[in-house]
Amino acid sequence: TQLLEQSPQFLSIQEGENLTVYCNSSSVFSSLQWYRQEPGEGPVLLVTVVTGGEVKKLKRLTFQFGDARKDSSLHITAAQPGDTGLYLCAGAFGNEKLTFGTGTRLTIIP
């Protein structure tokens, strides 16, 4: 089983601040996804990245895929209380089954 490490595990910041969370592996991803999960609900897909160096933006969220396709980051600008949740990365390694990271639990304080 491939391992995905997410950091930090917990993050609590004030509304309006910027933040970055990370997803790392020692192996090369064929693709990587970011999901957000709110309490009592299932995860919801935010983005899929496939190409090394790829950058995708979703409003205030910026996703970057590392050049070597072994890591990814999620940057949130001007965080809002609605951004609170558990952020999960999930990587596909070749044709193997999707592997999920342990998640970053983000709390935005109004």
Partner 1 sequence: NAGVTQTPKFQVLKTGQSMTLQCAQDMNHEYMSWYRQDPGMGLRLIHYSVGAGITDQGEVPNGYNVSRSTTEDFPLRLLSAAPSQTSVYFCASTLGGVGGELFFGEGSRLTVL
Question: Which residues bind to partner 1, rule: CB under 8 A?
Answer: 1, 4, 9, 30-31, 33, 35, 40-45, 48, 88, 90, 92, 95-98, 100-103
Q: How would you list the strands of the sheet with 71-76, edge to edge?
A: 5-7, 19-24, 71-76, 61-65, 55-58
Residue with the two structure tokens 């899929």: 48
Least CB distance to partner 1 at residue 14 (A): 25
Specify the residue, 15 or 74, whose C-beta has the smaller distance to partner 1.
74
- Write down the least CB distance from residue 89 to partner 1, Å: 9
Q: Residue 84 Cβ, how far from partner 1 at the closest point, in Å?
A: 17
Specify whether the CB–CB gap between 46 and 64 falls below 8 A.
Answer: no
At 97, is the secondary structure helix, strand, or coil?
coil
